[in-house]
Chain A
Amino acid sequence: QSVLTQPPSVSGAPGQRVTISCTGSNSNIGAGFDVHWYQQLPGTAPKVLIYGKINRPSGVPDRFSGSKSGTSASLAITGLQAEDEADYYCQSYDSSLTSYVFGTGTKVTVL
């Protein structure tokens, strides 16, 4: 059971905006540990989408953005495209577990 909770699925029509929440606690996100987001396309390894809560690696479209407030973080995808269909995971560090932790994962479906 992950300590970072995400909605199992979100969906939207092409062009719409969707958000994915990542709810943690005072021993991980709330403690100030970095939050990173990963995109995993079917049958492939995850890749970094957002790092340090709000930063994008080169090559990641600016349609993807991250934010953080208190013990939670969010990933927003604006102008949803068919190629965005994938699983998305948040990730941080937990000081109580002394462990790197991933969120439960969210499947994004483009209608």
Chain B
Amino acid sequence: EVQLVESGGGLIQPGGSLRLSCAASGFTVSSDFMTWVRQAPGKGLEWVAVIYSSGVTSYVDSVKGRFTISRDTSKNTLYLQMNSLRTEDTAVYYCARLDTTVGFDYWGQGILVTVSS
């Protein structure tokens, strides 16, 4: 059974850093396309970053230069390193697997990141 479990969220001050983790089971993170999607309180979904099976990464413009997506094959875990956090980064962050045919087919339960002083 495919499962994704996020961790590492919490309250952080503006300008601070946080690293989210997403532990995967039931498939191999490095063999698939893995993404982070976020949802600000009461708002819609926003794609944040992707790491392809090749290792190539891509980001939404608003986080370029601040966020880094990566993976650890030995731990079968996806990460999102978030630096220079802003209040507008406050959201529930989901990790999701991206299938080329089906779209975002498996999602984690989501983890709340609150950026506030």
Contact = CB atoms under 8 A, between A and B. Distances in A.
Tell me if A's interface is mostly helix, strand, loop or mixed.
Answer: strand
Contacts of B45: 38, 40, 46, 89, 91, 102, 105
Interface string B44-75: 11110010000000101100000000000000
A68 to B, nearest CB: 14
A86 interface: no
A111 interface: no
A45 B94 CA distance: 8
A75 to B, nearest CB: 13
Contact of A45 (B46, B98, B103, B110): B110
Main secondary structure of the interface of B (DSSP, over half): strand
A29 B109 CA distance: 29
Interface residues of B, number: 21
Interface in A33-52: 34, 36, 38, 40, 45-48, 51-52
Contacts, number: 58
B105 interface: yes
Contact of B105 (A34, A48, A98): A48
Interface string B67-105: 000000000000000000000000000100010011111
B30 interface: no
B57 to A, nearest CB: 12
Q: Which of A2, A40, A91, A100 has the most CB of B within 10 A?
A: A100
Contact of A48 (B37, B47, B60, B102): B102
Nearest to B4: A45
A34 B50 CA distance: 17
**A-B pairs with the 10 shortest C-beta distances?**
A36-B103, A45-B107, A105-B44, A100-B47, A102-B45, A51-B102, A51-B103, A89-B45, A48-B105, A104-B44
Interface of B: 35, 37, 44-47, 50, 58, 60-61, 94, 98, 101-105, 107-110
Given A100-B47, A101-B47, 11 more contacts: A34-B101, A45-B94, A46-B94, A46-B107, A48-B102, A51-B101, A51-B105, A99-B47, A99-B60, A104-B44, A105-B45
